[in-house]
């Protein structure tokens, strides 16, 4: 879409992050994938080994005339613990780190300012990595819209569904 923008966000398992971000009005597309590492064209098996440097991420395309970057960041940070280094719940490793990969310096400034304000809400340091996006690699097709296609799967019921319901229950949120 003309005028749309993109940002890449990682907050643990990409199934969780994608399921939360697609709830946001103005998000046009959320694609699960890998970024932030050195291995070219990584596979899920390679990334899950923790040796590629990549994180599980979601590339979010949004319409800035409908939703602002800060509103997307509100949902992103509400959907994971940004003070947990290299883990979210039972998912452990650098591939599950909290990371924001920015398309440009303007985005980076917004994200860094947001995190500085967010830090005041936490007693522990916010450890979210902020970096320039070098390359995004879409994940395999069976990882796309995983929650929407598998809502009765165990991980979806136990881990993702409570996050989605929490976000739906917040005033002003999806």
CA-to-CA separations, 40 to 34, 37, 48, 111, 151, in angstroms, rounded: 10, 8, 15, 26, 31
Number of residues assigned to the chain: 174
Examine the residue annotation and report whether 20 is marked as an active-site residue of this protein.
no
Alpha helices in the chain (DSSP H): 14-21, 44-48, 69-78, 105-119, 146-149, 154-155, 161-168
Question: Of 13, 20, 102, 156, which one is the catalytic site residue?
Answer: 13
Give the span between the Cα atoms of 6 and 61, in whole angstroms: 4
Phi-psi region of 26 (alpha: psi -120 to 50; beta: other; left: phi over 0): left
Give the span between the Cα atoms of 145 and 125, in whole angstroms: 31
Catalytic residues: 13
């Amino acid at each position: 879409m003309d005028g749309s923008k993109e940002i890449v966000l990682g907050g643990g398992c990409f199934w969780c992050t994608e399921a939360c971000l697609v709830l946001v009005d103005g998000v046009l597309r959320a694609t699960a994938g890998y970024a932030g590492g050195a291995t070219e064209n990584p596979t899920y098996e390679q990334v899950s080994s923790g040796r590629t440097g990549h994180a599980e991420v979601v590339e979010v395309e949004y319409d800035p005339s409908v939703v602002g970057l800060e509103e997307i960041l509100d949902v992103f940070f509400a959907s994971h613990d940004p003070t947990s280094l290299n883990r979210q719940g039972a998912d452990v490793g650098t591939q599950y780190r909290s990371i924001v990969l920015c398309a440009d310096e303007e985005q980076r400034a917004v994200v860094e300012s947001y995190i500085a304000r967010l830090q005041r809400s936490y007693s522990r340091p916010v450890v979210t990595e902020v970096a320039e996006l070098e390359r995004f690699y879409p994940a395999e097709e069976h990882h796309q819209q995983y929650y929407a296609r598998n809502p009765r799967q165990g991980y979806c019921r136990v881990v993702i569904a409570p996050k989605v319901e929490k976000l739906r229950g917040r005033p002003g949120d999806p």
